[in-house]
Amino acid sequence: MNKKDHISYKQALEELEKIVDEIENGEIDVDLLAEKVKRATVLSQICKSKLRKTQEELDKLLSEIEKEENEQQDTDPEPSS
């Protein structure tokens, strides 16, 4: 496994924000700029992947909850008038 597999979303985002701040403030030496941009690209991909995975998990959970609610409504007796 590589470092990419062990970094959390929070760590990736914080490092990405730091790189962006350094670039925006002109704090990065031109010789390191390409390296930092490559790292920022990797970090961005990590964040997107983790967000996508989380979204898929949430969609699955919400779907299960909705299914359970529908099943419960189908089994509940209708109120008498």
pLDDT tens-digit series, residues 15-48: 999 999 999 998 888 889 999 999 999 999 999 9
The domain segmentation of the chain, as residue ranges, is 3-66
In this prediction, what percent of the chain has a pLDDT beyond 70?
86
Q: How confident is the model at residue 1 (pLDDT cuts 50, 70, 90)?
A: very low
Residue 81: is its pLDDT beyond 80?
no
Element (H, E) at 76: none
Q: How confident is the model at residue 13 (pLDDT cuts 50, 70, 90)?
A: very high
Is the pLDDT higher at 21 or at 80?
A: 21
Using alpha carbons, list the distances in angstroms from residue 59 to 45, 54, 63, 67, 70.
Answer: 21, 9, 6, 12, 16
Residue 80: is its pLDDT beyond 70?
no
